[in-house]
Amino acid sequence: MARTAELIIDGKSYTFPIVEGTENEIGIDISDLRDKTGAITLDFGYKNTGATKSAITFLDGDLGILRYRGYSIEELAEKSTFLEVAYLLIFGELPQTDHLEKFTSDIKNHTMVHEDVKKILDGFPSSSHPMGVLASLFCAQTAFYPESLDPNRSAEGVYLSIVRSLAKMPTFAAWAHKNAVGHPVNYPDNSLNYSARFLKMMFGLPAENYEVDPVVADALDKLLILHADHEQNCSTSTVRIVGSSKASIYSSIAAGINALWGPLHGGANQEVITMLEAIKQDGGDVEKWINKAKDKNSGFRLMGFGHRVYKNFDPRAKIIKKAADDVLGKLGVHDPVLDIAMKLEEIALRDPYFIERKLYPNVDFYSGIIYRALGIPVDMFTVMFAIGRLPGWIAQWKELRENKEPIGRPRQIYTGQKEREYIPLTKR
């Protein structure tokens, strides 16, 4: 028998169907709640609200499980490349050799950006945060490809937009950095793979003089895989809600980039390094900073700790912690903030405050340490996250479109003034 949930309001009972996912998670389908009862639900931060059904990513925050299209993140990080994972997320299956070759070559064909993009870039002062520049350049694609504004675009047209998004992202990202440091931009070198191409555009002075270290390119590829999707997080929900208005893929993703920027979301990776540096400057007294994080009046939180859905170890943090050790070892880098990070983790995980609230290191806790070892400046950390998250945003945007989901439009409980009389200025 189909499972149902009963809701009683003022003594009157209403029945709602229970929806079950493939991993047995359940949701109460309240699509007709307002019609039936006149009431809405109230759930600040959507902590208990399922906004969609999705077949892309499964995560179990209590068990610390993350899977893309059924494959464990651990296995994908070890065995796949970023573009394979991008293909998997967007099209649902791991690619066959010929599919991957075509996808990779289509992407390479679109890595160049219109020369006029440089004029837009020139308008940004070098003080601009690269995330703001990235979001703007991404959105500007709507100007260069106005056909992307057509909500009824053909499947081929959508594929082209997807390929263009993936192809141009590293170029925009590297150029956002070049703008910040006041250097001339480099053009993409299509003989390289995705991560190496980005590194050469970012670090080349000029590109011809820069030899990509395979250790660095491999480490970056792994980091991008770990960030590639994370179901209905803040930036992805933003992409879906903007996309639900039938806005173009470029503007939907630009909105996602902006949402990711905040320090409580992707911006945390930048904040973690700032925090670890501050602890180091302060003499390395980790206990003192833990106490500060526990003191609600301090306004300070342990950045890179805690997660809305993980109430156990973030599986990505485990992989990144090990990768940080490997990469620093291979590159012969000793970063004292890694020691501080490990000490911070060790003490926090023994502390009842963090235990009771189930606060564990999240993906951002160790990623900044690797980015630093790879020579990536702190301002670019969240940009790196955005490069990684792009396939997830695309996959979710495409799914929303294919599912023909309605426009996202939450309700509210109004708490303002009741209707009142307007008093003209002269009488106030």
Q: How many residues bind ligand ACO (CB under 6 A)?
A: 19
* Annotated catalytic residue, options 129, 230, 265, 307: 307
- Does the protein bind ligand ACO through residue 268 (CB under 6 A)? yes
Residue 226: CB minimum distance to ligand ACO, A: 10
Options 92-100, 195-203, 238-246, 361-369: segment touching ligand ACO (CB under 6 A): 361-369
**Alpha carbon distance 66, 57 (integer Å):** 7
Length of the chain: 428
Cis peptide before 170 (omega within 30 of 0): no
Applying CB under 6 A, among 243, 266, 388, 392 the residue interacting with ligand ACO is 266
Dihedrals phi, psi of 160, to nearest 5 degrees = -65, -45
Q: In terms of Cα–Cα distance, which of 238, 163, 167, 170 is closest to 397?
A: 238
Applying CB under 6 A, among 134, 166, 241, 359 the residue interacting with ligand ACO is 359
- Does the protein bind ligand ACO through residue 357 (CB under 6 A)? yes
- The gap from C-alpha 79 to its chain's centroid, in whole angstroms, comes to 22
Three-state secondary-structure class, residue 64 = coil
CB nearer ligand ACO, residue 103 or residue 365: 365
Residue nearest to ligand ACO (CB): 306
Name residue 388's amino acid. Answer: G
Query: Is 221 a known active-site residue?
Result: no
CB nearer ligand ACO, residue 201 or residue 272: 272
Q: Convert residues 296-325 into a mask of x (bound to ligand ACO by CB under 6 A) and - (unbound).
A: -----xxxxxxxx-----------------
CB nearer ligand ACO, residue 121 or residue 317: 317
Which tokens in the block code for residue 328?
């620093």
Query: Is 364 a known active-site residue?
Result: yes
Edge-first strand listing for the sheet containing 71-72: 57-60, 65-68, 71-72
Q: Is the dihedral of CA 263, 355, 67, 366 positive or negative?
A: positive
363 Cβ contact list (under 8 Å, min separation 6)? 226, 227, 314, 316, 317, 320
CB nearer ligand ACO, residue 170 or residue 304: 304
Measure the CA dihedral 145/147/148/152, to 10°: -170
Q: Convert residues 245-264 into a mask of x (bound to ligand ACO by CB under 6 A) and - (unbound).
A: -------------------x
- Does the protein bind ligand ACO through residue 84 (CB under 6 A)? no
Q: Which residues are catalytic?
A: 307, 364
Give the interface with ligand ACO as residue ranges (CB under 6 A). 45, 264-266, 268, 293, 301-308, 357, 359, 362-364
